């Protein structure tokens, strides 16, 4: 599946939530805009207020007035100082005064009696003081062949505060406004993050539900060839990687895209010529992104595949730990796992090399080049004698850091984007696996139970038939037993009856209806299955008998347990029917698990009952109890029994003997014994073994 199809399907999953997503992205843009206003506010505060005292001042004997209004002023000794930006912009209406200049030297400020260019080497020497006058200083500025000198007085802290008196309120407003913008940005980010996270969780919740539902519709043959761990990895790990796409990747790309656009606009407003040079860096970054995406897609596909293999092996090993330990194969399993883990490690190392080469180090190199460009630009202007605004320089340096940090974040998220797209491809690949129920089929009312196999052929692969021209009839209420050596086709026959696999040739009908025309789920609704190794789910015994069917009442549940002789041992448990069952029912004996599975089948009240080696792993003492339960369970329903113990099927109405996929003998127990064929030999062989076992048991007791 190509990436464009994956992206299209990811967008389709997000469409039901598009209003919430757009709302979250709008809040994200507003929060970003509020945060980007910081350098502009800092520039205004620096140039218009913090450094405002270094502008030219004009001395007057009394506060000047213009158009009848008194201008702002600062009082130093007995004179009045008015800053140039406080005077009217029209030179014709400006009052004339003596020029003064404030010169800072560290934390000390001097008021010069004239204007001087401060570019150059500066020295300040005291001149002494006359009677009734303040101490004076001579400020000398030297640059190459030029020298400028001006007399000045040192300002006290109170006088400096006088000069800044009219800037305090605007500075407080600017700082307060910036603080409000920061709080607003944080609040908007919180709301958008909460909204985006909630939406992403809903999308992934929907995706997992769809995937889980699809898994339940897949044919059994799919699970035969697909490792369980690989499926678990796709439903859990891969969908979690997709969640990161909607949460962190989408938000990062939008937020930092707005950041970059806003910074470029701000740079054009501050210094258009330098902003154009910045734009020349964008193609370099786009090339890095293109190259990274091209090579990383292959690497992440390999990583996800290796992770799936590792999960599959862990799941298989944990499920079969008893066998591994019993055969002392721990070291061999560890070596195999080490090989799979090494393959995953190599994939991760390829990712690390790719990230180290194309992501942050490459962007950091471009950032250093940009910083060098700024220093060269402002330095060359200073050497040419042009005035440089410290606020503009500060804003440019601030925006430089803000410009490349989003680029770094986008580059970092590219790896998550690629992982998410790769994981989504694996999810959609599983979701596109064809299901058996791919068309509308007829429902099935409760059947009477007449089952007919007509010339049935079946092969799992190509023409390797495991069932060959099988034909028989099971009348309603009959018990049909299937016997034969391992691999003779008994379980395959039952799998076809339940619709787990499609027939290769022939036809199976229930009450005259071809099962290929029936909805398999409707068919299985009327069939009960008891396996040789019954599976109990995590939960209590009551849940395991009901098995998600809440229509089964408590009375019906208990009645089913009593009928199959399970009620007695259940009531002896500490919590009785509320007794918790651990995974696979490990705390119960094999016989107890089997009785619970019988109660489950009886409570479901199926029309067709299938018992697959239901007593194969049961001891002789427990077998008598289970045989009685089987008798109750098969009453009034068509029953198919797969059995190796021929002693358990002597009551069957019809016994089918299979060999290499064919029915070689059929009849009742008595009829087959009279024929003296394969069934007769199998029965005598088992009876002989039973007698030998009893003899050895008696001798052991005697000894």
Three-state SS for 379-420 is: HHHHHCCCCCCHHHHHHHHHHHHHHHHHHHHHHHHHHHHHHH
Choosing from 166, 189, 204, the residue where a domain stops is 166
Could you count the other beta carbons within 10 Å of the beta carbon of residue 134? 14
Instruction: Tell me the CA distances in angstroms from 574 to 111, 167, 537, 568, 590, one per residue in order.
Output: 95, 81, 19, 13, 19
The DSSP output letter for 486 is T
Question: Which H/E stretch holds residue 23?
Answer: helix 18-45
- Average pLDDT taken over every residue of the chain: 77
Confidence category of residue 690, pLDDT binned at 50, 70, 90: very low
The helix (H) or strand (E) run that includes residue 65 is: strand 65-66
Question: Is 307 contained in some domain?
Answer: no
Please give the Cα distance from 256 to 417 (Å, whole number): 15
What percent of the chain has a predicted confidence (pLDDT) above 90? 0
Listed residues 136, 166, 196: the one ending a domain:
166
Classify residue 257: in a domain, yes or no: no
The DSSP line for 149-190 is EEEEEEPPHHHHHHHHHHHHHHHHHHHHHHHHHHHHHHHHHH
- Residue 298: the pLDDT is 73
Would you state the pLDDT for residue 625? Answer: 66
pLDDT at residue 684 in the model:
85
Under 8 Å between Cβ of 329 and 320: no
DSSP code, position 460: S
Model pTM score = 0.59
Instruction: Determine the pLDDT at residue 688.
Output: 67
Higher pLDDT, 696 or 380: 380
Q: Which two tokens stand for residue 510?
A: 């229930």
- 293 burial class (0-12, 13-18, 19+ CB within 10 angstroms)? middle
**pLDDT value for 333:** 78
Asked if residue 12 is part of any domain, the answer here is no
What is the reported pLDDT for 25? 76
* 499 and 520 Cβ atoms separated by less than 8 Å: yes
3-state DSSP assignment of residue 498 = coil
493 in a domain, yes or no? yes
Q: Tell me if 653 is assigned to some domain.
A: yes
Domain that holds residue 468: 443-526+640-703
Taking the alpha carbons at both ends of the chain, their separation in whole angstroms is 72
Instruction: Specify the number of domains making up the chain.
Output: 2
* Alpha-carbon gap, residue 370 to 216, rounded angstroms: 57
Position 405 pLDDT exceeds 80? no
Where is 657: in which H helix or E strand?
Answer: strand 654-659
Tokens of 116: 């001087």
What pLDDT score was predicted for residue 130? 57
Tens of pLDDT, residue by residue over 610-655, are 887 766 555 566 666 667 766 776 777 888 888 877 877 888 888 8
Residue 42 maps to a domain: no
Q: pLDDT tens for residues 68-99?
A: 677 778 888 778 888 887 787 776 667 778 88
The residue count of the chain comes to: 703
454 has pLDDT over 50? yes
Does the pLDDT at position 577 exceed 80?
A: yes
Domain-located, residue 555: no
Sequence-distant (6+) residues with CB within 8 A of 150 are: 101, 112, 113, 114, 115, 116, 138, 139
User: Inter-axis angle of helices 157-217 and 250-270, to 10 degrees?
Assistant: 150
Backbone phi, psi, residue 22, to 5°: -65, -35
Start-end of H helices in 155-281? 157-217, 220-225, 228-233, 239-244, 250-270, 272-279
Q: What is the pLDDT of residue 698?
A: 43
Q: Which of 124, 139, 166 is the last residue of a domain?
A: 166
602, 632 Cβ separation under 8 angstroms: yes
Confidence bin at 703 (pLDDT 50/70/90): very low
pLDDT score of 389 more than 70: no
pLDDT band at 378 (very low <50, low <70, confident <90, very high): low
Q: Is the pLDDT of residue 456 over 80?
A: yes
DSSP per-residue letters across 576-625:
GGG-EE-GGGTTS-HHHHHHHHHHHHHHH--SEEEEESTTTT--HHHHHH
Report the largest interatomic distance among the alpha carbons of the chain, rounded to a whole angstrom: 148
402 inside domain: no
Instruction: Assign residue 690 the CATH number of its domain.
Output: 3.40.50.300
CB 656 within 8 A of CB 668: no
Give pLDDT tens digits for 466-519.
888 888 888 888 888 888 887 788 888 888 888 888 888 888 888 888 888 877
Contact (CB, 8 A) for 476 and 555: no
Whether the pLDDT of residue 410 is over 80: the answer is no
């Amino acid at each position: 599946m190509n990436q464009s199809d994956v992206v299209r399907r990811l967008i389709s999953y997000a469409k039901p939530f598009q209003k919430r997503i757009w709302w979250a992205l709008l809040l994200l843009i507003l929060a970003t805009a509020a945060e980007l206003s910081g350098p502009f506010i800092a520039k205004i505060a620096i140039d218009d207020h913090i450094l405002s005292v270094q502008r030219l001042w004009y001395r007057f004997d009394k506060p000047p007035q213009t158009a009848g209004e008194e201008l702002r002023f600062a009082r130093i000794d007995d004179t009045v100082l008015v800053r140039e930006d406080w005077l009217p912009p029209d030179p014709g209406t400006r009052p004339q005064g003596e020029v003064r200049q404030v010169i800072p030297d560290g934390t000390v400020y001097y008021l010069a009696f004239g204007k001087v260019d401060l570019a150059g080497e500066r020295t300040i020497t005291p001149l002494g003081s006359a009677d009734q006058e303040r101490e004076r200083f001579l400020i000398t500025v030297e640059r190459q062949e030029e020298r400028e000198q001006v007399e000045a007085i040192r300002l006290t802290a109170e006088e400096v505060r006088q000069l800044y008196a009219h800037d305090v309120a605007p500075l407080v407003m600017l700082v307060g406004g910036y603080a409000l913008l920061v709080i607003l940005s944080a609040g908007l980010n919180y709301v958008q993050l909460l909204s985006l996270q909630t939406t992403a969780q809903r999308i992934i919740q929907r995706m997992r539900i769809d995937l889980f539902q699809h898994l339940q519709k897949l044919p059994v043959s799919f699970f035969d060839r697909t490792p369980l761990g690989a499926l678990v990895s796709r439903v859990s790990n891969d969908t979690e990687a997709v969640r990161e796409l909607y949460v962190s990747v989408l938000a990062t790309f939008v937020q930092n895209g707005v950041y970059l656009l806003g910074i470029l606009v701000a740079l054009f407003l501050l210094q258009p010529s330098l902003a154009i040079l910045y734009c020349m860096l964008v193609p370099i970054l786009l090339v890095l992104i293109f190259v990274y995406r091209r090579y990383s897609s292959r690497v992440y596909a390999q990583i996800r595949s290796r992770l799936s293999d590792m999960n599959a092996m862990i799941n298989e090993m944990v499920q079969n730990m008893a066998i591994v330990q019993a055969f002392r194969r721990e070291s061999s399993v560890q070596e195999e796992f080490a090989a799979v883990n090494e393959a995953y490690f190599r994939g991760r190392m390829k990712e690390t090399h790719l990230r180290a080469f194309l992501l942050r180090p490459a962007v950091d190199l471009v950032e250093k080049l940009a910083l060098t460009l700024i220093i060269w630009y402002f330095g060359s202007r200073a050497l040419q004698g042009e005035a440089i605004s410290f606020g503009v320089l500060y804003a440019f340096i601030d925006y430089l850091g803000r410009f490349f940090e989003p680029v770094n974040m986008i580059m970092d998220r590219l790896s998550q984007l690629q992982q998410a797209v790769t994981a989504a491809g694996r999810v959609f690949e599983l979701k596109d696996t064809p299901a058996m129920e791919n068309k509308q089929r007829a429902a099935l009312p409760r059947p009477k139970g007449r089952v007919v196999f007509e010339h049935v052929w079946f092969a799992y692969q190509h023409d390797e038939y495991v069932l060959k021209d099988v034909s028989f009839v099971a009348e309603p209420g009959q018990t049909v037993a299937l016997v034969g050596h391992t691999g003779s086709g008994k379980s395959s026959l039952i799998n076809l009856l339940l619709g787990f696999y499609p027939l290769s040739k022939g036809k199976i009908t229930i009450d005259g209806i071809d099962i290929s025309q029936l909805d398999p789920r409707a068919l299985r609704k009327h069939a009960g299955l008891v396996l040789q190794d019954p599976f109990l789910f995590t939960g209590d015994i009551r849940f395991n008998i009901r098995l998600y069917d809440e229509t089964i009442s408590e009375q019906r549940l208990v009645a089913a347990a009593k009928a199959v002789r399970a009620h007695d041992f259940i009531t002896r448990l500490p919590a009785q029917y509320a007794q918790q069952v651990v995974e696979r029912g490990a705390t119960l004996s094999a016989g107890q698990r089997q009785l619970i599975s019988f109660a489950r089948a009886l409570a479901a009240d199926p029309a067709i009952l299938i018992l697959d080696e239901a007593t194969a792993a049961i001891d002789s003492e427990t077998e008598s109890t289970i045989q009685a339960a089987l008798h109750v369970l098969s009453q009034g329903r068509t029953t198919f029994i797969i059995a190796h113990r021929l002693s358990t099927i002597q009551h069957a109405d019809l016994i089918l003997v299979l060999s290499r996929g064919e029915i070689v003998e059929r009849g009742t127990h008595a009829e087959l014994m009279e024929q003296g064929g394969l069934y007769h030999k199998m029965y005598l062989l088992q009876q002989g073994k039973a007698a030998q076992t009893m003899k050895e048991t008696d001798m052991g007791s005697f000894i």
